[in-house]
Amino acid sequence: MKVNVKKLSETAKLPVYGSASAAGADLFADGDYTVPAGETVFVKTGLAIELPSGVVGLIYARSGLAAKQDLAPANKVGVIDSDYRGEIVVALHNHGKAVRTVNAGDRVAQLVIAPYYTAEFTEAEELSDTARGEGGFGSTGKR
C-alpha cells in the first residue's frame, strides 16, 4: 500500500519499519522534549499523512521505550482517521519517577495501519443469547 506523507519541517523523518516483517513503523520526534515524571508531553513528528479510505493509523507504544524508560502514549492507542490531514502528534506519558528526555530523531511510537469496519447501529429490544451472557470483568475465569 502506498501512503503519502508530508514533511511539515525540514528535520522530520519519514516512518520506518525496523524489519521486513514489522507491523509497526517507527515514528520519530521532531524536536527535543523533557517529560517530567507522571506528566504527558505532546511530541511532534513533523509529519502529516494521507491514509486511504477504509484504513486507520494506530499509534502504539514502542515496547523498549515503555519498558526501559517508562514512556508510552498517554491514550494507550492513538487513532489517525483517514480524513485527518494535521500533524501526527504523540501524547507521550512518563509513567516513571524520573524525568526523561526525548531528543530530535528519537523513536517515540510506532504506527500500525489497519483496516476497519463502519457499523450501522440499530436499536434492539433483545440481543441473542450466548453462554457468557452478561458476565463482565473476570467472568471467563482467572487463567
- For residue 15, the model assigns a pLDDT of 98
Q: Domain extents for the chain?
A: 4-16+24-115
Q: Could you tell me the three cell numbers for 14?
A: 519519514
Tell me the three state secondary structure of residue 27: strand
CA–CA distance, 101 with 75 (Å, rounded to integer): 20
Which fold would CATH assign to domain 4-16+24-115? Deoxyuridine 5'-Triphosphate Nucleotidohydrolase; Chain A (2.70.40)
pTM score, whole prediction? 0.89
Q: Which residues contact 130 (CB under 8 A, 6 or more apart)?
A: none
Tens-binned pLDDT, residue by residue, of the chain (143 aa): 999 999 999 999 999 999 999 999 999 999 999 999 999 999 999 999 999 999 999 999 999 999 999 999 999 999 999 999 999 999 999 999 999 999 999 999 999 999 999 999 999 999 999 988 888 777 776 66
